[in-house]
């Protein structure tokens, strides 16, 4: 391992990368609330890995979508475990990212010079919600169909662009094969690419600027 590390360090400066990413000073008072960002990153990685495994056996068509999910659950070894990790991991990711944003807001960590870090975090949160919305339809059962119908109808009520947004989501005037294919493309291609880019930029800002110190408690004994 030492020889491999030296070989890599001569070519890409791996020791400098490690020092930049890991050997950083942490402000005094940092505690458990600060791990929510790392938890969110872990859950995103889990979603990517389990999503790839699920996509290998999923068929995005109205005739085969539900049966392919049933096949994964019943016939493929550990298929139900992989789908369970993906399903519950999605819910936990929404919770973790939301709590991370709330912690950032209430700790005042969105202020100068971290405004851009906060903005990218907001967009990542919106993309996570987009993952949940697009992924909900993929099992193509009654609950998924009608939940997506409600979501599209809500989008259509937005002023000016509402009807156009709903039509883009549905791929037409009604939910059907085009809707399922479109949601699948959003879920496995567009949203992961955008999220990965934003997470990379978000982490760059965190490393570049550093994390904020916890707000100081007011000392009531001081005059």
Which residue reads 């070894």 in tokens?
Answer: 77
pLDDT at 146: 95
CB 209 within 8 A of CB 113: yes
Domain ranges of the chain: 31-209
CATH 1.20.810.10 correct for 31-209? yes
> Over its length of 223 residues, how does the chain's per-residue pLDDT go in tens digits?
889 888 988 998 888 888 877 777 788 888 899 999 999 999 999 999 999 999 999 999 999 999 999 999 999 999 999 999 999 999 999 999 999 999 999 999 999 999 999 999 999 999 999 999 999 999 999 999 999 999 999 999 998 899 999 999 998 888 999 999 999 999 999 999 999 999 999 999 999 998 888 887 654 555 5
Express as a percent the part of the chain with pLDDT over 70: 97
Q: How big is the chain, counted in residues?
A: 223
H-only helix segments in the chain? 2-12, 14-21, 36-55, 65-74, 79-106, 115-136, 142-156, 162-170, 177-185, 191-209
Tens-digit pLDDT profile for residues 115-161 = 999 999 999 999 999 999 999 999 999 999 999 999 999 999 998 89
The first and second tokens of residue 99, run together, are: 């709590």
């Amino acid at each position: 391992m030492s020889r491999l590390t030296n070989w890599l360090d001569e070519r890409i400066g791996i020791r400098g990368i490690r020092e930049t990413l890991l050997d950083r000073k942490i402000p005094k008072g940092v505690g458990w609330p600060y791990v929510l960002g790392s938890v969110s990153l872990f859950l995103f990685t889990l979603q990517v890995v389990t999503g790839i495994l699920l996509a290998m056996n999923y068929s995005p068509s109205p005739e085969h979508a539900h049966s392919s999910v049933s096949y994964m659950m019943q016939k493929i070894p550990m298929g139900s475990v992989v789908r369970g990790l993906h399903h519950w991991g999605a819910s936990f990711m929404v919770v973790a990212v939301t709590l991370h944003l709330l912690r950032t807001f209430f700790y005042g960590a969105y202020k100068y010079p971290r405004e851009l870090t906060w903005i990218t975090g907001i967009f990542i949160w919106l993309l996570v919600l987009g993952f949940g919305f697009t992924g909900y339809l993929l099992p193509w059962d009654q609950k998924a169909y009608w939940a997506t119908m409600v979501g599209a109808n809500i989008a259509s009520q937005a002023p000016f662009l509402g009807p156009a947004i709903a039509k883009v989501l549905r791929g037409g005037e009604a939910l059907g094969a085009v809707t399922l294919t479109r949601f699948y493309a959003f879920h496995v291609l567009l949203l992961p690419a955008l999220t990965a880019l934003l997470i990379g930029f978000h982490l760059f800002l965190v490393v570049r600027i550093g994390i904020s110190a916890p707000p100081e408690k007011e000392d009531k004994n001081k005059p």
